[in-house]
Amino acid sequence: MEIKQRIDSLTPELVGWRHHLHARPELAFEEKETAAFIAAKLREFGLEVKEGIGGTGVVGVLRRGNGPMVGLRADIDALPIVEATGLSYASQMEGKMHACGHDGHTTMLLGAARVLSEMPPENGSIAFIFQPAEENEGGGKAMVEDGLFRDFPASSVYGMHNWPGLPAGQFAVHAGPVMAAFDTFEVIVEGQGSHGAMPHQGIDPIAVSMQLYQAWQLIVSRSVSPTDAAVISVTQIHAGDTWNVVPNAVTLRGTVRTLRPETRDMIEQRMRERAEHICRAFGAKAHFHYLRRYPATINTAAEAETARLTAADTGDAAVLTELAPSMASEDFSYMLHEKPGAYIWLGNGPAEDGHNLHSPRYDFNDAVLPTGVEYWVRLAHRVLSA
């Protein structure tokens, strides 16, 4: 039977799985019901299953001969959002929602496991990696640290995310950075409080933090190459309680996004230097903390090309290869840090009217389920027959 025909006959079932998962969203590292659903399906398809990797992660393996192994990864967690779609299969879990389409990602990889169990490659193994806690909590890192690639020694690893704003079913992939590194920072500018009418008797931390804010923005405009990209966003400023008191301290917090490791190093260093030097210049003290969260998601050239060729065989529309990277982040980066691989975007259709990722009105587009399954099936065959 042709791959497309087999997937077509499976599609009503795929939609059922997706709606079931959508109605039962679970947050990072709490995906117990979701993981049990995945494991039961994988066993039903006759795969070897390992549960509890990096918390609530699940891996299913299909083995044929002693050829190489390829890793295919989907994320499975939901977000703390109150759903406002009004759908018949809307979330039944108060304050939790599949607003990033991980219900669709899980379904597409399960669909691929089903089809590949019936149409396996001749020689080689496939690890179907179901990763928890993509949203903020770094489940990708947890799985890697828990021995994902020791137990499942894939020679390459692939990921996929739906992308609102791209036409439904159209793919986009390129070599190099596709998603940014995600870091957070905090600085406490410690001055010396005083009467609001007599600022000369103290050290005003608000005035100092305004200087620091400007100096940090100059890192992006003056120290980062105009053809590179970086963002420093101060997203919190906390200080003061009343009208006539200059406070003792100001806390600034925010996020940094970068595409290249060397830019990330440079920004961390200059933010720290400016915090320390500017505070010292005004007689204040800086307490600066910088936390590295997700690294940038960087596709390797050969694997990005494999993904592109596979997508070209799958979709009807031409594969986009020049879409700008997103400054959002993705913890698939931890897997790409260990193994060559590629992360591809699959169009979810128009993003208008709140149909964007993390919106309470977002929903994964069921029309692209068969496209995603077909991509995974063709990719496994392509990689393992090379």
CB of 3 to Zn ion, least distance (A): 26
* Two structure tokens written together for 135: 């949203």
CB of 329 to Zn ion, least distance (A): 9
Residue 303, judged by CB atoms within 10 A of its CB (0-12, 13-18, 19+), counts as: buried
CB of 59 to Zn ion, least distance (A): 19
Q: Describe the strand order of the beta sheet including 124-131 as a list of residue ranges.
A: 48-53, 57-64, 124-131, 69-75, 156-163, 341-347, 171-172
Sites of contact with Zn ion (CB under 5 A): 100
CB of 357 to Zn ion, least distance (A): 5
Report how far apart the first and last C-alpha atoms of the chain are (Å, whole number). Answer: 22
Q: Which is nearer to Zn ion, 100 or 219 (CB)?
A: 100
CB of 77 to Zn ion, least distance (A): 9
Q: Which is nearer to Zn ion, 125 or 162 (CB)?
A: 162
Q: Which is nearer to Zn ion, 124 or 159 (CB)?
A: 159
Tell me how crowded residue 73 is: count the other CB atoms within 10 A of its CB: 27
Q: Which is nearer to Zn ion, 100 or 230 (CB)?
A: 100
Contact between residue 363 and residue 87 where contact means Cβ atoms under 8 Å apart:
yes
What is the four-CA torsion angle of 106, 109, 114, 119, rounded to 10 degrees? 180
What DSSP string runs through 119-141?
A: S--SSEEEEEEEE---SSS-HHH
Q: Which is nearer to Zn ion, 84 or 207 (CB)?
A: 84
Q: Which is nearer to Zn ion, 100 or 126 (CB)?
A: 100
Question: CA 66: distance to chain centroid?
Answer: 32
Please report, as a single letter, which amino acid is at residue 70: V
Tell me the C-alpha distance between 130 and 105, whole Å. 9
Q: Which residue is nearest to Zn ion (CB)?
A: 100
CB of 212 to Zn ion, least distance (A): 31
* Two structure tokens written together for 215: 């100096």
What is the four-CA torsion angle of 347, 257, 30, 19, rounded to 10 degrees? -10
CB of 327 to Zn ion, least distance (A): 13
CB of 26 to Zn ion, least distance (A): 14
Q: Which is nearer to Zn ion, 104 or 177 (CB)?
A: 104
Q: Which is nearer to Zn ion, 76 or 189 (CB)?
A: 76
3-class secondary structure, 101: coil
Tell me the C-alpha distance between 69 and 7, whole Å. 23
Helix residue ranges, H only, the chain = 3-23, 32-44, 102-118, 139-145, 148-151, 205-222, 261-281, 301-314, 333-338, 369-385
